[in-house]
A and B are shown apart, each in its own frame.
Chain A
Amino acid sequence: MALDSKVPKGPIKDKWTDYKNHIDLVNPANKRNIDIIVVGTGLAGGSAAATLAELGYNVKAFAYQDSPRRAHSIAAQGGINAAKNYQGDGDSTYRLFYDTVKGGDYRSREANVYRLAEVSANIIDQCVAQGVPFARDYGGLLDNRSFGGVLVSRTFYAKGQTGQQLLLGAYSALNRQIARGKIEMFNRHEMLDVVKVDGKARGIIARNLITGEIERHSAHAVVIASGGYGNVYFLSTNAMGSNATAAWKIHKKGAYFANPCYTQIHPTCIPRSGDYQSKLTLMSESLRNDGRIWVPKNMDDVLAIREGRKKPTELSEEERDYYLERRYPAFGNLVPRDVASRAAKERCDAGYGVNATGEAVYLDFKTAINRYGKEQAKISGITNPSEAKIYELGQALIEEKYGNLFQMYEKIVDENPYKTPMMIYPATHYTMGGVWVDYNLMTTVPGLYCIGEANFSDHGANRLGASALMQGLADGYFVLPYTIGNYLSNDIRTGKISTDTTEFDEAEKEVKNKIDFFINNNGSKSVDYFHKRLGKVMWDKVGMARTEEGLKEAMSEIKAIREEFWKEVKVPGTAAEMNPELEKAGRVADFLELGELFAKDALDRNESCGGHFREESVELDGEQKGEAKRNDKDYAYVSAWEYKGEPADAVLHKEELEFKDIELKQRSYK
């Protein structure tokens, strides 16, 4: 099947408006006869479900948590971008569009990104109307901060918990529709398969996680908003329950999976402290504005620090290697996320990691404290301030800026980051890849939609800070409600979809068989045992830097783990009760397939772009020597994989990317 992105004709700035003017609409009386299933109720799913219900459709929404408010969108800290230009600093729809395409290393679809930038301003208005308490200045107007290396201030925020506030906004809209009876909410339910009738998505099979009951639900269209697949690495900043099952099941039923190798590894996370570690915690990127990243220059010092014979504060400036400043004098500590992450890995791989696991670098605020302290002393008119006074003043200013982050760090690590440098290490954070969708956000299965982080859409090979929230809400509030209507206008005479059909019988049987298999398998190893092994292979060979050899090994190793999993996995308890191990088993089974496709995609893409770095594809000489080298001639396409049984047999379909409004350039941070 040839991929058709269905991008409307015309100039980029008119595409979305023209599209909206020409789509088919469903009249309100008919909307009442149409059902839509939404799987996942985070920012994208929650906002979509609420909006669709407001329009008059009957919505059934599913969440594996006990409340939509707990979706992991809630953990986003920094903010949400919008081209409002409130600061008058030259921002515009075009500039946000341009920044996003460039930040994504020219691997996203222009028309989608432009639409995202276009609706971004509306998101803010919407959220304010809902009662989201965005930060305000003293004049009572909305405040902005700057973020992630762009040249304007366009990030709106609500303290350090913008994600939670936006999600609560969508959740309140959702609640209003639940109360009206327009949304039927299924908490603690997990979708385990999609049901297709005559080639169209017509329902899902879900498991009630409290009773274990397998349920059938039908609808005229199904929307997947189940988030990203970062947990394929076992350790990530994702929630424990975040999973790819919904996305992977639809892939197996015909939806192409796009660009799985594009994963964002965030440079500033709290390092692992031992094998028991269950998840990683992100520290806001903003810390790099004031922190300097370093490791010791000499191996002796590294060993001394690891063994506790020396403290990092005892090392003189000459004994430290500020490797980002050394390698990237122009951007220094403020290089983009992917570059900073790889540089940390390079130092740790060379043996310079500063903690017991050898996987940590220092993020030092001493210079900043000193600089701020001197400034403050001048401001308060103190002449010849003592060292201690400077430090005290500087610390106060740092506390004002990052107090909550420093406190969080101290709670977890039990070290005072004002006194000794923080330790950080990169961790998997966000997946740009996902289910392939066209301009309508529809997958390759008719009537099956995918929105939010779960689709591959707008971020190309790398996502800019504060853009994930923007995309989730744009899809849910402003894009999907239009595009899905265009499709459903053909369904007004279909009538209720019966769940009493062979298609539902078969899908349910398949789901039940798998569950019975897990319960009866009586293997010898827990689900986590396999998940951790998968995670290690993914991290070591499909992590921040990838090689042909490593990827091939990864593919065969993942296959071997998968085969052992199906023989040896042990799931205690029964199917007819709340059984967290059973839930995990199903999710890990899917990760074990997705991981292999991930490696296969990374193998296919022999170029370095954004979050995907192939050691074979680097600049060989000149100023950029050793840096990532993109190959626009051979790889300016979206890889959309078609399921054919084994992940290794997946068939590649290419959507060629055209850049009409932006000129392709190599990124440089030297």
Chain B
Amino acid sequence: MMALSAFFLMFFLLQHFAINILSVFSPNVFNEVSYFMGTNPLIQYVMQPVLLFGIVYHFVMGFILELKNRKAQTVKYAKNNGAANSTWVSRNMIYTGLFILLFMVFHFNDFWVPEIVDKFIEGNSQVGKDYHHHVVTMFENPVRIGVYVLAFVFLALHLLHGFNSAFQSVGANNKYTKGLKGFGKAYALLIPLGFIFIALFHHFNH
């Protein structure tokens, strides 16, 4: 189930990235797409709750899994050479995940909460809203940039193990999946790098 929610989140991430990268090329297109995403009822009332559920589910399951797994080994080794047989990221998904969770709170506070307040509580019209401007202003603060960049580094680490791990968990691992593994690594590095690029781009270009 971790794997299935992971697939969903990874797909969302790709979509999120695709829209964000538009902000680099064309403020107008970005605004249009954002407007569509922000007002289309299907997106708003169906996809958004699903996404929220997906996020919460992935985190809650992650925690339950971690707790169960800790219970499976009650006495710890006095000496454990984990580095000899596995990668650091694979053993520390819970920590990279936790950091990403904290970042999500921060990130929601930056974009999602103001948007919801604006849209539903104050009931302002969304027509012609300059989403692009909001993005650019947010990224003026160097501290925020630092947090975002760091978060994407963690995301990369999380994905570096998570992407291929998800495929393994649903049973896709045989000699035909060699290419998939390479793709997974590329995905895990390129998407977060892309996000970092977007953030830095807006910071330094405006």
Chains A, B in direct contact (C-beta < 8 Å): no
